[in-house]
Amino acid sequence: MYKGKEVKLILENGDEFKGFSFGAEHSTSGEVVFNTGMVGYPESLTDPSYKGQILVLTYPLIGNYGVPEKEFENDFLSNFESDKIQVQALVVSDYSFEYSHYSARKSLTEWLKEENIPAIYGVDTRRLTKTLRERGAMLGKIIINNNDVPFYNPNTIDIVKEVSIKEPIIYNENKKNKKIVLIDCGVKNNIIRNLIKRDLTVIRVPYDYDFLTQFFDGLVISNGPGDPKMCKETIHNIGRAMKHNIPTFGICLGNQLMALAAGGDTYKLKYGHRSQNQPCILANTKRCFITTQNHGFAVDTNSLNEEWQEFFVNANDNTNEGMKHKTKPFFSVQFHPEATPGPVDTEFLFDEFVKMLK
Q: Name the packing angle between helices 253-261 and 232-243 (round to 10°).
A: 60
pLDDT in tens, 222-276: 999 999 999 999 999 999 999 999 999 999 999 999 999 999 999 999 999 999 9
- pLDDT, residue 184, reads 98
Please give the single-letter amino acid code of residue 263.
G
Q: 170 - beta bridge partners?
A: 203
The 10s digit of each residue's pLDDT in 26-51 is 999 999 999 999 999 999 999 999 99
The whole-number pLDDT of residue 214 equals 87
Spatial contact of 15 and 50, defined as CB atoms under 8 Å apart: no
Q: Three-state secondary structure along the chain?
A: CCCCCEEEEEECCCCEEEEEECCCCCCEEEEEEEECCCCCHHHHHCCHHHCCEEEEECCCEECCCCEECCCEECCEECCCCCCCCCCCEEECCEECCCCCCCCEEECHHHHHHHCCCCEEECCCHHHHHHHHHHHCCEEEEEEECCCCCCCCCHHHCCHHHHCCCCCCEEECCCCCCEEEEEEECCCCHHHHHHHHCCCEEEEEEECCCCHHHCCCCEEEECCCCCCHHHCHHHHHHHHHHHHCCCCEEEECHHHHHHHHHCCCEEEEEEEEEEEEEEEEEECCCCCEEEEEEEEEEEEEHHHCCCCEEECEEECCCCCECEEEECCCCEEEECCECCCCCCCCCCCHHHHHHHHHCC
Looking at residue 2, what is its pLDDT?
Answer: 58
Res. 12: pLDDT tops 60? yes
Predicted pLDDT of residue 162: 98
Residue 74 has pLDDT above 80, yes or no: no
Confidence grade of residue 75 (pLDDT, cut at 50, 70, 90): confident
pLDDT for 76 equals 82
User: Average per-residue pLDDT in the chain?
Assistant: 96
Q: In this predicted structure, what is the pLDDT of residue 358?
A: 77
Q: Cis ω on the peptide bond leading into residue 341 (within 30° of 0)? A: yes
Q: What is the dihedral of CA 57, 62, 63, 69, to 10 degrees?
A: -40
Q: Are strands 16-21 and 119-121 parallel, antiparallel or unpaired?
A: antiparallel
Active site residues: 252, 336, 338
329 pLDDT exceeds 70?
Answer: yes
pLDDT (tens digit per residue) in 289-312:
999 999 999 999 999 999 999 999
The residues facing 218 across adjacent strands are: 180
Distance (Å, whole) CA 111 – CA 46? 12
Q: What is the pLDDT of residue 1?
A: 53
**Given a cut of 60, is residue 347 above it in pLDDT?**
yes
What are the structural domains of the chain?
Answer: 6-155 (3.50.30.20), 159-356 (3.40.50.880)
pLDDT exceeds 90 at position 71: no
The amino acid at residue 279 is P
> Is residue 353 exposed (0-12), middle (13-18) or buried (19+ Cβ within 10 Å)?
buried
pLDDT at 181 over 90: yes
The backbone torsions φ and ψ at residue 28, rounded to the nearest 5 degrees and listed phi first, read -160, 170
Give ∠ CA 266-270-273 in degrees, rounded to 5. 80
pLDDT at 77: 87
- For residue 214, count other CB atoms closer than 10 A to its CB: 12
With pLDDT > 90 as the criterion, what percentage of the chain qualifies?
95
**Single-letter residue type at 308:** W
CA distance 224 to 227: 9
Name the region of 72 (left: φ>0; alpha: ψ -120 to 50; beta: rest).
beta
The answer to whether residue 73 scores a pLDDT higher than 90 is no
Encode pLDDT of 190-227 as tens digits: 999 999 999 999 999 999 999 999 899 999 999 999 99
The alpha carbon of residue 103 and the mean position of all alpha carbons in its chain are separated, in whole angstroms, by: 24
- pLDDT at residue 3 tops 80: no
